[in-house]
Amino acid sequence: MIRARSASKQGQQLLQSWFASDAVLLAPKLLGKIVRRGSCSGVIVETEAYTTDPASHAYRITPRSVPMRDTYGCWYVYFTYGMHYCANVTTNKCGIGAVLIRAVEPIKGMALMKRRRGVAETHNLTNGPAKFCQAFGVGKKENTRPVAGTFAIYDAPDVPSEAIGVSGRIGIRNGTELPWRFYIKDSPFVSKK
DNA sequence: TACTGGATTCACT
DNA sequence: GTGAATCCAGTAA
């Protein structure tokens, strides 16, 4: 239902200026928006906000985390666990922050996504940050690129606040607080962990 | 230069 | 629920 509503009302590409706000404010607003790369597109159903907390790469000033500090409205793609990529959109209220795309609901290009992922089940294509990157063919070459472009996010109606779940700052990971996490409650594509 | 750990995923029990 | 896979980034020496 989320997919059908959003897909039918896909708007213009979100410009860089749209992201010149706080990551915690933008993370829920990104829910329901359309992410598209090539022939693949999907509705964002889960996001996670990273700011200056110790769990964030931006907590320390390193070459890798520079995009999170110096840019907004750009992709921040990093490699982790020796085999996975994760895609963030940088934000810039206070100069630091990013929103991690944790899960999307596929709209178009499912055959290509299944081929890239090597799975047959649609529900298992993009229900995780690394799965999303693999399905959409996102890699390090997308890092620091503007969000408006070939790999872009398109405007769509905001998801009603009552349909959004929040699970931020409720636990401890490695002695640090968890970041804010937002998801569309009725989406089967929201990651389990 | 060497070592450690990780914003994950998947297979196996 | 648990552990392995895998290699890059960050840190210490």
Instruction: Residues by CB within 7 A of strand B: list them.
Output: A 48, 50, 55-58, 68, 76, 78, 80-84, 86, 88, 98, 100, 117, 119, 124, 128-132, 174, 191, 193
Q: Please check the confidence at residue A6 and state whether its pLDDT lies above 60.
A: no
Nearest nucleotide, CA A60 to C1'? C10
- Which nucleotides in chain B have some atom under 7 angstroms from a protein Cβ? 5-10
CATH number at residue A169: 3.10.300.10
Structure confidence at residue A173 (pLDDT) = 43
- Which nucleotides in chain C have some atom under 7 angstroms from a protein Cβ? 5-11
Predicted confidence band at A84 (pLDDT cuts at 50, 70, 90)?
A: very high
Pick A167 or A82 by higher pLDDT.
Answer: A82
Which of A83-97, A98-112, A123-137, A143-157 has the lowest average pLDDT? A83-97
Q: What angle do CA A57, A63, A48 make, to 5 degrees?
A: 25
Q: Which domain holds residue A126?
A: 2-184
Structure confidence at residue A52 (pLDDT) = 79
Residue A169 included in any domain: yes
Residue A54 included in any domain: yes
Q: Centre a 10 Å sphere on the Cβ of residue A1 and count the other Cβ atoms it contains.
A: 9
Mean pLDDT, chain A, integer: 87
How many domains is chain A partitioned into structurally?
Answer: 1
Return all residues near A34 (Cβ < 8 A) that are at least 6 apart: A6, A7, A10, A41, A42, A43, A44, A107, A153, A154, A155, A156
Predicted confidence band at A171 (pLDDT cuts at 50, 70, 90)?
A: very low
